[in-house]
């Protein structure tokens, strides 16, 4: 019979949920809503404005090994608190933007802060509390990103009411809520006494050299890159695509919010699938939903209500792919000192997310239509699914090299 989770565990779960709902989502998901206003105000092209979001997404990925190392060396809570301060500062500075150079510079700072409040440190903070139903717990926390789907609507309202500077300042102020909740309520494994009894048998994470020699690392990494590239091209350009087809800005923002809200269900579904079956199967289903969503965007009339159904399907996959890295790492390597392992896997995710929006913007500027980038994204999603399907033997946990147990290191 499982021991009940102490109050400290529930408060930690709530803190991480709020971080991803506000600190992560408001900085990341609101930025595409600023693109039309930035194009109108400064005359920048779509590649330029999407470049800011691509910088943020790239840094989330390439800084992940650093974030993982910091979480292993210090604590996930310390990393999260520092990230929220950095993210709030970046949003406040974005309110002062008057040139493309400033925009990119402040986006770099926002990327640093957002990487430090991403799924990586939040998963590391929460997972040790759950010896059972760990996938669902991670999915629930990551579902905060789905609640953060309100960010595009909030940003749209604030841009209309306060303009670009006032909207950025408002978003910066919102980060105070998760900061103080985390500061007061969250407990990491170094201070949570009951945690030792709750965390099940753990394994020692491989070194970077061992991980790089594992075929499963490259298989999952490349598949993650393909899926992330495809889904972020849609997420970053959905508002621009719909408004360019004559859809009103609030309705376009609602479509994006619908996708992000649906991602909450996708995260829970993915987590439950990982617990019941495997993280690999959960990732495969998520890639399928992403592909169906991209196909729907290509075929659905932009002004029809069907676009919201497409957004919901896309959101299921979008949410599940966010779950993939932590659920894979916890299934294969446990929860002890796995920050660097997760960080290396998330590099693929970051490269995919950052290149997806940027390449879609470039291809649109060349062809003046979105059919070319979106068709490419559909092909990449299909390639990721095929790779996962044909490599079942190489990605079985039993096929991995034996790793020394934690108990032998004690």
Instruction: Give residue-wise pLDDT tens across range 87-108.
Output: 999 999 999 988 999 999 999 9
Domains of the chain: 9-395 (1.20.1250.20)
From residue 403, how far is each of 72, 199, 279, 400 by CA, in Å? 19, 19, 20, 8
In this prediction, residue 139 carries a pLDDT of: 83
CB 25 within 8 A of CB 260: yes
Q: Residue 403: enclosing H or E segment and its boundaries?
A: none
Residues 399, 156: Cα–Cα separation, whole Å: 50
- Tens-of-pLDDT digits for all 410 residues of the chain? 456 667 788 888 899 999 999 999 888 778 888 888 888 888 888 778 888 888 887 888 789 889 988 988 888 999 999 999 999 999 999 999 889 999 999 999 999 999 999 888 998 888 887 766 777 888 888 778 777 778 888 888 888 898 889 999 999 999 999 999 999 988 865 444 433 333 334 456 778 788 888 889 999 999 999 999 999 899 888 988 999 899 998 899 889 889 888 888 898 899 889 888 988 999 999 999 999 999 999 999 998 999 999 999 999 999 899 888 888 888 888 777 788 888 888 889 888 887 888 888 889 888 888 999 999 999 999 999 999 999 888 877 654 554 444 333 33
Residue 306 in 3-state DSSP? helix
CB 400 within 8 A of CB 216: yes
Report the C-alpha dihedral over residues 70, 61, 338, 222, rounded to 10 degrees. -160
CA atoms within 13 A on the CB side of 142: 35
């Amino acid at each position: 019979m499982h021991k009940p989770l102490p109050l400290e565990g529930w408060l930690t779960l709530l803190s991480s949920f709020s971080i991803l709902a506000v600190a992560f989502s408001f900085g990341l998901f609101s930025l595409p809503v600023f693109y039309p206003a930035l194009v109108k105000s400064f005359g920048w092209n779509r590649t330029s404005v999407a470049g800011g979001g691509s910088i943020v997404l790239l840094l989330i990925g390439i800084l992940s090994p650093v974030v993982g190392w910091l979480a292993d060396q210090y604590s996930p809570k310390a990393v999260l608190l520092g990230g929220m301060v950095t993210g709030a500062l970046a949003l406040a500075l974005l309110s002062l933007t008057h040139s493309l150079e400033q925009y990119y510079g402040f986006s770099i700072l926002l990327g640093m802060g957002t990487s430090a409040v991403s799924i990586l440190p939040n998963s590391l903070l929460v997972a040790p509390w759950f010896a059972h139903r760990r996938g669902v717990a991670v999915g629930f926390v990551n579902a905060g990103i789905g609640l953060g789907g309100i960010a595009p609507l909030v940003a749209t309202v604030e841009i209309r009411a306060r303009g670009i500077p006032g909207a950025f300042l408002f978003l910066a102020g919102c980060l105070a809520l998760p900061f103080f909740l985390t500061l007061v309520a969250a407990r990491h494994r170094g201070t949570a006494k009951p945690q030792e009894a709750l965390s099940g048998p753990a394994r020692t994470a491989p070194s970077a050299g061992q991980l790089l020699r594992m075929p499963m690392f490259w298989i999952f990494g490349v598949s993650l890159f393909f899926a992330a590239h495809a889904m972020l091209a849609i997420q970053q350009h959905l508002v621009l695509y719909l408004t360019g087809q004559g859809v009103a800005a609030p309705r376009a923002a609602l479509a994006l919010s619908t996708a992000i809200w649906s991602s909450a269900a996708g995260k829970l579904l993915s987590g439950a699938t990982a617990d019941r079956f495997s993280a690999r199967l959960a990732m495969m289903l998520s890639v399928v939903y992403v592909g169906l969503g991209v196909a729907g965007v290509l075929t659905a009339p932009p002004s029809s209500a069907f676009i919201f159904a497409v957004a919901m399907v896309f959101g299921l996959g979008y949410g599940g792919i966010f779950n993939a890295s932590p659920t894979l790492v916890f299934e294969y390597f446990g929860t002890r000192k796995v920050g660097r392992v997760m960080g290396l896997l998330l590099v693929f995710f970051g490269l995919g997310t950052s290149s997806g929006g940027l390449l879609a913007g470039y291809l649109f500027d060349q062809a003046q239509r979105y059919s070319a980038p979106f068709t490419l994204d559909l092909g990449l999603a299909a390639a990721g699914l095929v790779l996962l399907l044909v490599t079942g033997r190489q990605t079985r946990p039993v096929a991995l090299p034996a790793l020394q147990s934690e108990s032998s290191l004690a």
